[in-house]
Homo-oligomer: A and B are copies of this chain.
Amino acid sequence: MPATTTGPDSSRARSWWGWGYADAQPGDAECVAMGALLPGTLDRPLPVPRVADLALGRPRVTPPASLAHLVTDEPGARAAHAMGKAYRDVVRALRGRPGRIPDLVGRPGGERDVTDLLDWADGQGVAVIPFGGGSSVVGGVEYRGDAHRAVLSLDTTSMGRVLEVDTVSRSARIQAGALGPVLEAQLRPYGLTLRHFPQSFEFSTLGGWLATRAGGHYATVRTHIDDFVQSLSVVTPAGTNTSWRLPASGAGPSPDRLFLGSEGILGVITEAWMRVQERPRHKASASVAFADLGPALDAVRALAQSDLAPANCRLLDAGEAALSGASDDGSAVLLLGFESATAPVDDRLAAALETARAHGGTGAAPEPESGRAERAADAAVSDWRTAFLRMPYLRDGLARMGAVVETFETAATWDRIPALIDAVRAEVGAAALKATGHPATVNCRLTHVYPDGAAPYFTVAVAGRPGDEVAIWDDIKAAATDVLHRHRATVTHHHAVGRDHLPAYARQRPDPFATALRAAKDALDPRGTLNPGVLLG
């Protein structure tokens, strides 16, 4: 059994405390260079924390012999499953104050193993934290409090197989522990792809995506993983919930939709039949610059309200564009991408560019592509994507320099978007300044767009105060949550609720729905074994 959380490349060690692979973490020199860009940070990086320095304690329970092969108490594994990968989590690890470390880490190989582990834990008063790939940035995979006898973190990444492929119906039955690259590699021989590429793609699982309603590749139309679900298998203490494979149904409230977004409190998702796609054979992309954000927002709204359905329609404000190298002149940049398995997309891109230009956008004409497969996107798109995947590593490097660096995201209807973005910038910036005494960077991009609204994604970076990083971030986050709530913007578009968003979620959620969800929880998990503290407190 692998000692720590696995990644798709099993020859590389995962970081127990930070993002991704340990060997991809920025070195000390790179940390110092990054820190120099943010006034007020440390002169040298905090040391990389060591598992050996943690007070793990002995596991408070022992699994029965029949389950011993599915469970480990190896210190590295326990430490790596103590928390997710939020800034809050990284800095707690750096400061030697990680969350409650689980007593045991379970690694089920399939649905039967999940059932056995859950049955045992449920009978023993042991809390079960479905960990998936552990990339939660909202406190979704740690234990808080002291109401359970012990804690079992359930790492599902050993359940990574594509079990069946139906090429006629373009569907695949996939084990829920499959990491992004693991499932894509198994679909590729069929010419198929799930095309769900969150920033955490390498280190998050299908089951995690489903349990948190993850936002994926497509910027329009089918933005969430929800839309690709044909059926689910979910192990609950009250039995296994397996829905029928159906392209659509009108038979009562959707059973799958109750479990999508349930964040492990109702059951452990073990398998799903997913709607997969033919691999795109036609792609075209371009970037458009806008001198001001306002007209850029109008352009994006016009595109979202057209029939063009771009796969990528990502608007970066000036700060975000500069940070990612997409522009260096203070422009906002719109990244556009189209793709299709069946037909050239040049015309759609051309029409989108015409719309963008009508709103004052400027930029290079796209290269003609006419069916050439997997062609390189233009330079801005390509630079941006590289930066996108690198960002969480850089965040950890900045955290080592004492910086407070984190993101949060939301969605709101178009009528509220311009004022919302302005208010977040002003109020979150002010809160960061107040908390740290340093000026903060607050950047914004739109990650997903809809005919009726958009999903803004904010990045905050500011020099912290040694030892106070968590408290500083909590202050900043409280300001962010407050402004989102006043603008009736959702507490999360695709990062999930976890434990960190619980108070804001409780205010946003309609009371009768909360009553119904609590009743469902009590009926399916009467002993409160599953992910206690998430969604319902």
Q: Are B250 and A213 in contact (CB under 8 A)?
A: yes
Q: In the docked arrangement, what's the CA distance between A415 and B169, Å?
A: 6
A267 within 8 A of B: yes
How far is it, in angstroms, between the C-alpha of A417 and the C-alpha of B92 when the chains are bound? Answer: 54
A254 to B490, CA, bound (A): 12
A168 interface contact, C-beta 8 A: yes
**What's the Cα separation between A360 and B342 when bound, in Å?**
19
Residue of A240, A448, A515, A535 ringed by the most chain B CB atoms within 10 A: A515
- Shortest beta-carbon distance from A325 to chain B in Å: 29
Residue A505 at the chain B interface, CB threshold 8 Å: yes
Contact of A238 with B524 in the complex, beta carbons under 8 Å: no
Picked from B170, B240, B340, the residue with its CB within 8 Å of the CB of A452 is B170
Chain B contacts for A212, CB-based, 8 A: 250
Q: CB distance A171 to B307 under 8 Å?
A: no
Residues of chain A in range 439-481 having any CB-CB distance to chain B below 8 Å? 448, 450-455
Contacts of A257 in B (CB 8 A): 253-254, 257-258
Q: Is the pair A251, B306 in contact by a Cβ cutoff of 8 Å?
A: no
A-B contact pairs, 9 of them (CB 8 A): A212-B250, A223-B248, A241-B513, A247-B453, A251-B497, A252-B509, A275-B451, A275-B452, A307-B309
Cβ of A493 within 8 Å of any chain B Cβ, yes or no, is yes
Closest B residue to A236 by beta carbon equals: B512
**A413 shortest CB reach to chain B, Å:** 4
Against B, the Cβ 8 Å flags (1 = close, 0 = not) of A334-360 are 000000111100010001000000000
The 6 lowest CB-CB distance pairs between A and B, nearest first, are A247-B453, A519-B523, A516-B520, A247-B450, A255-B513, A519-B519
Q: Are the C-beta atoms of A246 and B496 separated by less than 8 Å?
A: no
A450 contacts which chain B residues (CB < 8 A)?
A: 247-248
Given A247-B450, A454-B247, A513-B243, A535–B252 Cβ distance below 8 Å? Answer: yes
Q: Name the contact of A491 in the complex, choosing from B248, B251, B497 (C-beta under 8 A).
A: B251
Instruction: Say yes or no: A490-B251 contact (C-beta < 8 A), given A307-B340, A415-B166, A520-B519.
Output: yes
- A406 at the binding interface (Cβ < 8 Å): no
Measured CB to CB, the closest approach of chain B to A204, in angstroms, equals 14
Pick the contact of A241: B242, B252, B412, B510 (CB < 8 A). Answer: B510
- Whether A251 lies near B351 (C-beta < 8 A) is no
A493 with B248: CB separation less than 8 A: yes
Shortest Cβ distance from A222 into B: residue: B221
Is A245 part of the contact surface with B, judged by Cβ < 8 Å?
yes
Expressed in whole angstroms, the Cα–Cα distance for A492 and B254 within the complex equals 12
Known: A254-B257, A510-B242, A516-B266. A492 touches B452 (CB 8 A): no
Q: Inside 8 A of A247's CB, which chain B residues have their CB?
A: 411-414, 450-455
Does A157 lie at the interface of the complex (its beta carbon under 8 Å from any beta carbon of B)? Answer: no
Report yes or no: B488 in contact with A244, Cβ–Cβ below 8 A. Answer: yes
- List residues of chain B with CB within 8 A of the CB of A522: 519
Q: Does A215 contact B (CB under 8 A)?
A: yes
**Which of chain B's residues has its CB closest to A277's CB?**
B451
Q: Tell me whether A62 is interfacial, beta carbon within 8 Å.
A: no
Q: How far is the CA of A463 from the CA of B166 in the complex (A)?
A: 41
Given contacts A241-B513, A343-B307, A516-B523, contact A492 B413 (CB under 8 A): no
Contact A246 B412 (CB under 8 A): yes
Complex interface residues of chain A between 481 and 498 (CB less than 8 A to chain B): 488-497
A434 interface residue (CB < 8 Å to B): no
